[in-house]
C-alpha cells in the first residue's frame, strides 16, 4: 500500500485510500496530527510528536522543531551529545508516521507519496526524498502541497472543469498555486511562495508584544524560558476566537504576567506579514495569465488559515468567501493519498493525469558582450522558465567565447536573478571541445526536468557529435548509496521509545514540565499524583493503567488551571 504523507513544519500526518475515499491515519495516541518535533534523551532514546513537545519545555537543548525550514541546507541541530541534519530529523518523523500506519492498517508500509511546499527548490526536494529513504520508505513521488490539496478538493468533491487558487499557509511556509481540472487532467498553471513565512511568524508577533509590554529581553532569557514563553504565545494564537483579544498568560520568574492584543492591534502588527503574502499571490496570477475573477474556487490549506485574521484577509483580498469544506490541516495528506492510489491504479478512483511545473527557472551561467567586444561573466541565461509544465525538455545553443578554448564548464543554476552568483548552484558539467576561434564551436545544452524534481543535463558538441549527459545532483548535499546505507545504520542504533508506553510517557513528561512551573502546595500535590501514577505503571496491569492514566490527566489539567489562578 502507498500512503500519503504531509511532512509539515509544525505538524505532520499520513493518510491512505479506501473504497469510500481517502482517510487520515491516526497516530499512536489516536490523534490525527503528529507535531514535527524530535527529542533525544541521555540514553539515546528518540521521542517524536507530543512526547517530544513536552520534553522541549524541560529539555530544550535535547529537542528540535521547525527543522523543515532548513531542509537541504548544511545547518546542523545539536540534540544533547548528537548532531543531525534537517533531513535526518525529518526521517524520525517519517519513520514514526510509517510505524503508526503499520499498526493502524495491520500490514507493512514501504511506499509513500510525500508532499513538499510548491516553492521548494531542487535541493530541498531531494533532501525530502532522502529523508523518506532514511525512514525506510520508497518515495514513489514528491508532490507539491497545493497540488495535493487541489486533488483532494477536485476529486474527493467530484468537481470538474474548475480553476483553483490554492492558498497554502502552514506553520513555516507559504505557497499559492493556480491549477485547472479539466478532461481528467489536473494542470498546475503557476506557483509562487515564501519558504520563510508561516504561522510561526504570527506567533512571534504575539510573543514580541508580550515581551515588550513586560520589558523582558529575550536575549537574557535562558533556552528553557524562551521555549516556555514561545509555547504560551502559540497557545494564545490558537485559542483566540473571531472577535476576541489575543490573551497571552505566563508565569515568568515567579510573576504571573498577561498581555492582551486587540484584533485591530494584531492586524496592524502583522501588516508586514500580510504584505509579504500579497506578493506571491500577484506573481502567480501574473504568471498564469489570469485575473482574480477568472478563479472558480479559492481553497484554504494549512493550519494557519484557520486563524480568523487570515480568513478575513483572504476574503477581502479575493472578494469572496474561500472554500473550507476540507479540513485545512488534512487536505494535503488526503490529496497525497489519492495520488498514491492513482500510482497503484485503484479501480475505485478515476484516473487523472497530473501535471506540475518548475517552481524556479533553470538555466546556466554565460558571458555577454558589453561596451563593444568586452566580455562580462556572471550573467544568468534561462533555459527552462519557472512555471513551465513538467515533464519538460528545452534546448539552447551556446558558443565558445575565446580563441583556442578547449574546455567548457556548464554551471547549472536555479533561480530568478539575472546574475548567476545570486542563484542556487545545482552542479557543474564539464566537457572538452575542439580547438578553434571564438564562436566557432557550437554546444547544444538540453535541460530535461521531471515530476520528481530530477534534472538531466545533456551537452552536445555540434562539430563532433560528442554528447555528455549527466543527472545533476547537488554536490554538497547529495549522499551516495554507500553513505546513505552507512547513515541508516548509524541512526538505527538510536532507540525509538516503545509505542505501547507513549501515552503514559506524554503525561509523565507533561508532569515534569508542570513540576518546574509550580511551587509550594501545588508542587506537592503534583508530586503525589505523579508518584501514584508511576506506582500503577510499575504493576503493569493494562486495565488499571488505562483508568489511572485518565485520572492523572484530569489531575494535570486541574493543576495547570490552578497554576494560573493561584
Assess contact for 193 and 173: CB atoms under 8 A. Answer: yes
- In this structure, the number of other CB atoms found within 10 A of the CB of residue 19 comes to 8
Hey, is 158 helix, strand or coil?
coil
Residue 157 and residue 252: Cα distance in Å, rounded?
A: 48
Residue 337 and residue 335: Cα distance in Å, rounded?
A: 5
91: left (phi over 0), alpha (psi -120 to 50) or beta: alpha
By CB atoms closer than 10 A (0-12, 13-18, 19+), residue 488 is middle
Q: What percent helix, strand, coil does the chain show, rounded to 5?
A: 40, 30, 30
Residue 15 and residue 482: Cα distance in Å, rounded?
A: 31
* Cell numbers for 64: 528540535
* Cell numbers for 267: 492586524
Q: Which residues on adjacent β-strands are paired with residue 431?
A: 408
Which residue is associated with the grid cell 506506582?
535
Assess contact for 111 and 2: CB atoms under 8 A. Answer: yes
Beta-strand relationship, 374-384 and 362-370: antiparallel
Nearest alpha carbon to residue 333 among 42, 72, 54, 97: 97
Which residue is associated with the grid cell 500526518?
13
Say what the alpha-carbon torsion angle 524, 529, 530, 532 is, to the nearest 10 degrees.
130
Residue 532 and residue 524: Cα distance in Å, rounded?
A: 12
- Chain center to CA of 527: 39
Per-residue buried b or exposed e for 83-104, using 16+ beta carbons within 10 Å of the residue's own CB? ebbbbbbbbbbbbbbbbbbbeb
Beta strands of 76-231 (E only): which ranges?
A: 76-79, 82-85, 111-116, 138-144, 162-169, 174-182, 185-194
Nearest alpha carbon to residue 426 among 89, 91, 77, 127: 127
Say what the alpha-carbon torsion angle 275, 280, 285, 289 is, to the nearest 10 degrees.
130
Report the catalytic residues: 6, 68, 145, 168
- In this structure, the number of other CB atoms found within 10 A of the CB of residue 257 comes to 17
Residue 23 and residue 20: Cα distance in Å, rounded?
A: 8
Amino acid at each position: 500500500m502507498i500512503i500519503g504523507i504531509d511532512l509539515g513544519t509544525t505538524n505532520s500526518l499520513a493518510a491512505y485510500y479506501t473504497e469510500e475515499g481517502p482517510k487520515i491515519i491516526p497516530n499512536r495516541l489516536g490523534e490525527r496530527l503528529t507535531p514535527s518535533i524530535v527529542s533525544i534523551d541521555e540514553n539515546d532514546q528518540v521521542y517524536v510528536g507530543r512526547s517530544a513537545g513536552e520534553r522541549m519545555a524541560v529539555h530544550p537543548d535535547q529537542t528540535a522543531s521547525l527543522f523543515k525550514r532548513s531542509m537541504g541546507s548544511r545547518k546542523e541541530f545539536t540534540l544533547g551529545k548528537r548532531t543531525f541534519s534537517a533531513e535526518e530529523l525529518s526521517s524520525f518523523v517519517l519513520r514514526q508516521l510509517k510505524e503508526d500506519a503499520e499498526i493502524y492498517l495491520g500490514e507493512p508500509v514501504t511506499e509513500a507519496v510525500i508532499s513538499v511546499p510548491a516553492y521548494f527548490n531542487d535541493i530541498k526536494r531531494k533532501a525530502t526524498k532522502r529523508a523518506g529513504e532514511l525512514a525506510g520508505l520508497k518515495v514513489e513521488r514528491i508532490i507539491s502541497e497545493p497540488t495535493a490539496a487541489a486533488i483532494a478538493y477536485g476529486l474527493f468533491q467530484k468537481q470538474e472543469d474548475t480553476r483553483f487558487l490554492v492558498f497554502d499557509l502552514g506553520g513555516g511556509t507559504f505557497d499559492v498555486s493556480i491549477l485547472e481540472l479539466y478532461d481528467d487532467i489536473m494542470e498546475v498553471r503557476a506557483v509562487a511562495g515564501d519558504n520563510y513565512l508561516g504561522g510561526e511568524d504570527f506567533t512571534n508577533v504575539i510573543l514580541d508584544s508580550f515581551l515588550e509590554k513586560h520589558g523582558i529581553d529575550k536575549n537574557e532569557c535562558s533556552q528553557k524560558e524562551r521555549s516556555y514563553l514561545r509555547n504560551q504565545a502559540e497557545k494564545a494564537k490558537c485559542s483566540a476566537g473571531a472577535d476576541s483579544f489575543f490573551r497571552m498568560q505566563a508565569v515568568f520568574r515567579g510573576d504571573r504576567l498577561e498581555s492582551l492584543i486587540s484584533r485591530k492591534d494584531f492586524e496592524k502588527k502583522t501588516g508586514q506579514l500580510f504584505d509579504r503574502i500579497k506578493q506571491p499571490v500577484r506573481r502567480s496570477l501574473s504568471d498564469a495569465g489570469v485575473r482574480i475573477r477568472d478563479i472558480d474556487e479559492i481553497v484554504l490549506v494549512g493550519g494557519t488559515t484557520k486563524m480568523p485574521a487570515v480568513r478575513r484577509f483572504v476574503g477581502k483580498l479575493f472578494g469572496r468567501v474561500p472554500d473550507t469544506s476540507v479540513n485545512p490541516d488534512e487536505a494535503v495528506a488526503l490529496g497525497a493519498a489519492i495520488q498514491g492510489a492513482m500510482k497503484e491504479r485503484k479501480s475505485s478512483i478515476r484516473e487523472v493525469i497530473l501535471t506540475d511545473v518548475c517552481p524556479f527557472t533553470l538555466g546556466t551561467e554565460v558571458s555577454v558582450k558589453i561596451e563593444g567586444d568586452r566580455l562580462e561573466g556572471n550573467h544568468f541565461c534561462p533555459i527552462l522558465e519557472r512555471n513551465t509544465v513538467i515533464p519538460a525538455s528545452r534546448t539552447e545553443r551556446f558558443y565558445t567565447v575565446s580563441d583556442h578554448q578547449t574546455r567548457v564548464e556548464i554551471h547549472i543554476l536555479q533561480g530568478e536573478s539575472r546574475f548567476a552568483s545570486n542563484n542556487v548552484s545545482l552542479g557543474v558539467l564539464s566537457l572538452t571541445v575542439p580547438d578553434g576561434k571564438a564562436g566557432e564551436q557550437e554546444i547544444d545544452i538540453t535541460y530535461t526536468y521531471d515530476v520528481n524534481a530530477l534534472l538531466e543535463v545533456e551537452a552536445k558538441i555540434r562539430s563532433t557529435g560528442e554528447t555528455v549527459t549527466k543527472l545533476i545532483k547537488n554536490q554538497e548535499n547529495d549522499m551516495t548509496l554507500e553513505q546513505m546505507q552507512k547513515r541508516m545504520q548509524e541512526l538505527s542504533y538510536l532507540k525509538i521509545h516503545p509505542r505501547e508506553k507513549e501515552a503514559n510517557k506524554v503525561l509523565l513528561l507533561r508532569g515534569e514540565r508542570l513540576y518546574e512551573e509550580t511551587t509550594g502546595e501545588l508542587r506537592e500535590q503534583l508530586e503525589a499524583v505523579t508518584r501514584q501514577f508511576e506506582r500503577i505503571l510499575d504493576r503493569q496491569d493494562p486495565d488499571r493503567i488505562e483508568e489511572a492514566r485518565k485520572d492523572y490527566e484530569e489531575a494535570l489539567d486541574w493543576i495547570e488551571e490552578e497554576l494560573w489562578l493561584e
